[in-house]
Amino acid sequence: MRSFCVECGKEGMVYKGLCEECLPKKRALLELPPYVTLQQCPHCNAYRHPGGWRRSSLEDALDAVIAKEVKVPRDVRRHHLSLSSTSEGGKSLLVHLSARLDLEGMVVEEDRDLEVRIKGSTCPQCSRKHGQYYEAIIQVRAQGRSLREDEVAGVHQTIDERVRGDPSLFITREEMVHGGLDVYLSSNEAAKSIIRELKSSLGGRMSSSPRLQTRKGGREVYRVTYALRLPRFSAGDLVEAKGRLYRVLSSGEPAAVLDLRSGERGTMSHRELRKAKEASAREIQGIVVSQTDGDIEVVDPETYEVRRVPKPKGLDLKDERVALVITDDEAFIAPLMEE
């Protein structure tokens, strides 16, 4: 409202009897506490914002905490706060606040200093992590064999990608145990999703086994073990089943296989694959010496024996070498699996 300033006598807009020049000198509009405490996790460096813990910059954390602690008069129509900080040494900051306040038609600027004390406090996630907290176990095993290096690497890659994409997810611990790998994870929901992804990429049979851990807030809390059982045979293996020789092309469900005698691709269920046996055969790179529409003559580089091998339908052989699978009785042309 318009009136006379009680301090300087100037006529114009006043607020509680003071003009916009005298007001900042005589009255502080901002209400500040003696100091503000900002909590920082010593493990992950996250800050505690008014809405919870966040991994943010110091500037963002100061903005959020100070905005909550600074009180502005109710009759201020609009206000803007900006701040700059200088270190006081140790865990204390001196923050300079510049405020622009719009009240009853006049704009007032006010500058204040505020001490911010940074206090170390472990965030809930790090507290759980360092307390060996976990909600689920992923177990990966293989039937009748140890896990291959590429299978272990595939499990690591899948889980690591999920952990990098989800700040709330962490690996509590990991163990190579007799017969396989155990990974303890902080989230049951994430573990459930990961085990399905692993089944899709590695094949095998999946199962889950919940175990009551505690009761919290009137509800039961379970820890769940998710098990993935990989088949005995995997991509690249040679197996005998139903009196025929197959190369396993993939170990999904069902597994993709190649009938070496007919050259035809097909599928085999995991139940059938479990009943198969490892083929007694060796693989070589034979040297082609001649070929017809139906046969190929190949030199075995280990024995120098010339073998006549049926030529699979549709095979367009242009190289001087060909991949052979040799048993005690027969030899087959078969693709070598890439390493």
Average pLDDT on 305-321 reads: 73
Identify the residue with better confidence: 233 or 104. 233
Least trusted range by pLDDT, from 26-35, 160-169, 311-320? 311-320
Average pLDDT on 246-273 reads: 82
Average pLDDT on 280-296 reads: 80
Tokens of 126: 């790090």
Interval 119-137: pLDDT, tens: 999 998 888 888 888 999 9
Identify the residue with better confidence: 162 or 213. 162
Q: What is the residue extent of each domain of the chain? A: 33-124, 133-230, 238-333
* pLDDT above 50 (res 338): no
Strongest mean pLDDT among 20-24, 109-113, 151-155: 151-155
* pLDDT above 90 (res 105): no
Q: With cut-offs at 50, 70 and 90, classify the pLDDT of residue 188.
A: very high
* pLDDT above 60 (res 238): yes
Please tell me the predicted confidence (pLDDT) of residue 118. 92
Q: With cut-offs at 50, 70 and 90, classify the pLDDT of residue 216.
A: low
Q: With cut-offs at 50, 70 and 90, classify the pLDDT of residue 300.
A: confident
Percent of residues, the chain, with pLDDT higher than 90 = 25
Strongest mean pLDDT among 93-107, 139-153, 241-255: 139-153
Identify the residue with better confidence: 119 or 90. 119
Identify the residue with better confidence: 170 or 328. 170
Q: With cut-offs at 50, 70 and 90, classify the pLDDT of residue 317.
A: low
